[in-house]
Structures are given as structure tokens and as C-alpha cells.
Amino acid sequence: MKRVGAYEAKTHLPRLLDEVQRGETIVITRHGVPVAELRPTAALSSAELAAKIEAWREYRERENITLGGLSLREMIEEGRM
């Protein structure tokens, strides 16, 4: 596992992300102490993604989350998105 300091991580983030994309895990340190980890994410299957979308829809319905009567199209046209 590769270790890099916070300054190097900030300076070379695109290169580090390329390494992570190839499967490398990188520990970011501050003054030699590990504070974060960059690692590849697991890709979601279509079924997992569909389940997450459905869970969000159920949450939105249960909590009565709305756009205040506006549609996404109206918001885009108003420049809100």
C-alpha cells in the first residue's frame, strides 16, 4: 500500500487517481500519520442501482420531499440547475 503526504496528494491528485483506478490503494498522511485512504470503489450492479433508486423514491414519498411545485425543466429554464 502506497503512502503519500497531504501536500503531495493535493499536488498530484490526477496521477494518484489514475493509480487508484488501476487498483492501487493509497494512504494519505499528515505529518506521517494516516488520515485518509484512496481506494477503488466497487461498481454497482444494475440491480443494486435500481434498488438504491427505488429506496430514494420511497424515502422522498415518505418524507414528502418536493420541488415546491416546480418541475426540473422549470428549474433548468430559470437557471437554478
pLDDT at position 81: 52
DSSP 34-55: EEEEE-PPPPPPHHHHHHHHHH
Report all structural domains of the chain as residue ranges with CATH numbers, in order of start.
Answer: 2-38 (3.40.1620), 46-77 (no CATH)
Kindly report whether the global pTM for this prediction surpasses the value 0.85: no
Reported as a pLDDT band with limits 50, 70 and 90, residue 64 is: confident
Contact between residue 15 and residue 2 where contact means Cβ atoms under 8 Å apart: no
**pLDDT of 27 above 90:** yes
Position 70 scores a pLDDT of: 82
Percent of the chain with pLDDT over 70: 98
